[in-house]
Chain A
Amino acid sequence: EVQLVESGGGLVQPGGSLRLSCAASGFTFRSYEMNWVRQAPGKGLEWVSYISASGSTFFYADSVKGRFTISRDNAENSLYLRMSSLRAEDTGIYYCAREPVAVAGAPLDYWGQGTLVTVSS
């Protein structure tokens, strides 16, 4: 069974940093691309970042570019999101999501339950 379990969320002050983790199991992690997607309270889904299966290619939403860093450890079946210079508008539930390679439209076929990040003083 495919499982994605996020952790690392919590309360952080504006300007602070946080590192999210996503532990993957039930599939060959190194063969899939991965993404982070967030949902602010009462708002819709917002794509945050993408990393290729090998970890050599990354993309970021303009809203987080220069502040967030995505990475992965294929030996540990783990995905990470390092967040710095956090702002109130970064508050929300952060989901990691799996993306099959070379499927038209880049669908996110499995999602974790999410971890809550709250940026507030």
Chain B
Amino acid sequence: QSVLTQPPSASGTPGQRVTISCSGSSSNIGSNAVNWYQLLPGTAPKLLMYSNNQRPSGVPDRFSGSKSGTSASLAISGLQSEDEADYYCAAWDGNLSGQVFGGGTRVTVL
């Protein structure tokens, strides 16, 4: 059971907008910034979004992030086939003195 809660799957057709939610508590998302990671099969995890809504260099602007209270979300607009991957949210947890991850959401492009 992961500390952060994500839906196990999400899907959309090319060009559609897909949103992934991430729910936590006051000790993690409620008091710390959220990061998002993308895992493509056979490759190293990649930082996709940091500090709630900041894109690292090279990440397309069709990826966006937001946070409100103890929840966060990642949106992919203009979905493309190469976006088919697993997405994880993460945050520092002050009670656990460590990072906590969501269970991951598999995005499928139909």
A positions within 8 Å CB-CB of B: 35, 37, 44-47, 50, 59-62, 95, 97, 103-114
Contacts and interface: CB of A to CB of B under 8 A. Distances in A.
Given A103-B50, A109-B56, A47 B100 contact: yes
11 contacts: A35-B99, A45-B37, A45-B45, A45-B90, A50-B98, A103-B50, A106-B92, A106-B99, A108-B35, A109-B56, A113-B43
Contact of A105 (B32, B43, B56): B32
Contacts of A44: 2, 88, 101-104
B51 A104 contact: yes
Interface string B19-52: 0000000000000111101010001111100111
Nearest to B2: A44
Given A45-B104, A59-B98, A107 B45 contact: no
Indicate the member of B35, B88, B91, B96 with the most A CB atoms within 10 Å: B35
Interface residues of B, number: 29
Contacts of B2: 44
A37 B102 CA distance: 13
Contact of A107 (B50, B96, B98, B104): B50
Contacts of A60: 98
Contacts of B33: 104-105
Given A45-B88, A59-B97, A109 B45 contact: no
A44 B103 CA distance: 5
Contacts of A103: 50-51
A105 B51 CA distance: 6
